[in-house]
Amino acid sequence: MVHSEVVRGVNECIARLEPDTAKRVSASTQLSDYNSAKADFGTELAISTRTGLDPADRSHVWYAAS
């Protein structure tokens, strides 16, 4: 179960980052695939990557301080 504020925040971020409505809809519909590890999100690499990343560890982020 996802909290409604989180869903609202994700949707607002998608809207700010992607100006094209069709692409926003596509990104939004892929969230359920990500959460249930379906399609490309269900591959061994995708699952191990998302479970191996610590949300508190930002060193893997491209904009992290260098």
pLDDT tens for 5-62 read 888 998 999 999 999 999 999 998 888 888 788 888 888 888 888 777 666 666 666 6
**What pTM was estimated for this model as a whole?**
0.55
**Does residue 62 lie within any of the structural domains?**
no
pLDDT recorded at residue 55: 65
Residue 1 has pLDDT above 60, yes or no: no
Residue 4 has pLDDT above 80, yes or no: yes
pLDDT recorded at residue 32: 82
Q: Which domain holds residue 26?
A: 4-52
Domain count, the chain: 1
**Does residue 9 lie within any of the structural domains?**
yes
pLDDT recorded at residue 39: 84
Alpha-carbon gap, residue 34 to 40, rounded angstroms:
8
Distances (CA, A) of 25 to 15, 19, 21, 22, 44: 9, 11, 6, 5, 26
**Does residue 11 lie within any of the structural domains?**
yes
